[in-house]
Structure 1
Amino acid sequence: MPLLKQELGTVHINNEVVSLIAGSAAMECYGLVGMASRKQFKDGIAELLGRENLSRGVEVRQENDQMHIDLYIIVSYGTKISEVAHNIQSKVKYVLNDVVGIQVDFVHIFVQGVRVSR
């Protein structure tokens, strides 16, 4: 659980909140169709999550005093996957580090599928 130490005390932020912020930041990136469920596949196809379930496509882990964010995504057909992934990494890290104030060390992207966007 991330901590923000301030002069008046400490703010504890639940991992669920961090995953929601990370998922919302990722959804603003071009080329992303949506978040995918980390565990559930139906007939070999990743389940596309709605906005209300964004955090199910994000995993927040602490390893050796470092914060790791794992994002499970579905990208749009015809986009350069490496560029979409890099943009998502940059956006999520910026939002969590500079806007919220949570130090994120790594943002890992797992592409679960490619879909034709509507």
Structure 2
Amino acid sequence: MKFQTEYGEIEITVNAIRKLVYLAVLETYGPISIGTDNWFARWFSSEEGKIKVEEDDYGHITVDIFVEVEYGTKVTEVARNIEENVQHKLRTYANIENVDVNVHIIGVK
């Protein structure tokens, strides 16, 4: 994702966005671990590598997060908090407004 400022061009990589999303999920109450829908990535990638970030040609970003939540928490509330926290982080730190956050609950521990 590229931004033009009065001082020049700024490029934010997908890995940097993935790291911001990972930190936002860690700061949210409820998730125990971050998983994936891909069995190969489940075993061989880092925690933040399990977050799926895609950017289309128009600068629209889609984030898919697969999490396991703590037993006894309200699943819908945890998912909503993750979504709001990720959108807030991306808006505040990366100036990204056009983002869809999809939270997938893959288990309860």
Q: In structure 2, how many angstroms separate the alpha carbons of the residues matched to 1:82 and 1:38?
A: 19
In structure 2, the CA distance between the partners of 1:37 and 1:94, relative to structure 1 (3 Å rule), is: same
**Counterpart amino acid of residue 55 in structure 1:** E
Q: 1:81 aligns with which of 75, 78, 86?
A: 75
Q: Contact 2:12 / 2:94 at 8 angstroms: preserved in 1?
A: no
How many pairs does the alignment contain? 107
Q: Contact 2:35 / 2:68 at 8 angstroms: preserved in 1?
A: yes
Q: In structure 1, how many angstroms separate the alpha carbons of the residues matched to 2:47 and 2:23?
A: 7
Q: CA RMSD in A?
A: 2.2
**Counterpart amino acid of residue 16 in structure 1:** N
State the partner residue of 1:56. 49
Q: TM-score w.r.t. structure 1 length? A: 0.79
Task: Please list every run of 5 or more consecutive structure 1 residues that lacks an aligned counterpart in the other structure.
Answer: 42-46
Q: In structure 2, how many angstroms separate the alpha carbons of the residues matched to 1:90 and 1:48?
A: 28
State the partner residue of 2:13. 14
In structure 2, the CA distance between the partners of 1:34 and 1:104, relative to structure 1 (3 Å rule), is: farther
Q: In structure 1, how many angstroms separate the alpha carbons of the residues matched to 2:4 and 2:37?
A: 32
**Counterpart amino acid of residue 95 in structure 2:** G
Q: TM-score w.r.t. structure 2 length? A: 0.85
Higher helix share: 2
The structural deviation recorded for 1:8 is 1.0
Q: In structure 2, how many angstroms separate the alpha carbons of the residues matched to 1:114 and 1:99?
A: 31
- Superposed structure 1 runs of 4+ greater than 6 Å apart: none
Task: Please list every run of 5 or more consecutive structure 2 residues that lacks an aligned counterpart in the other structure.
Answer: none
Asked if 1:24 is matched to 2:40, the reply is: no
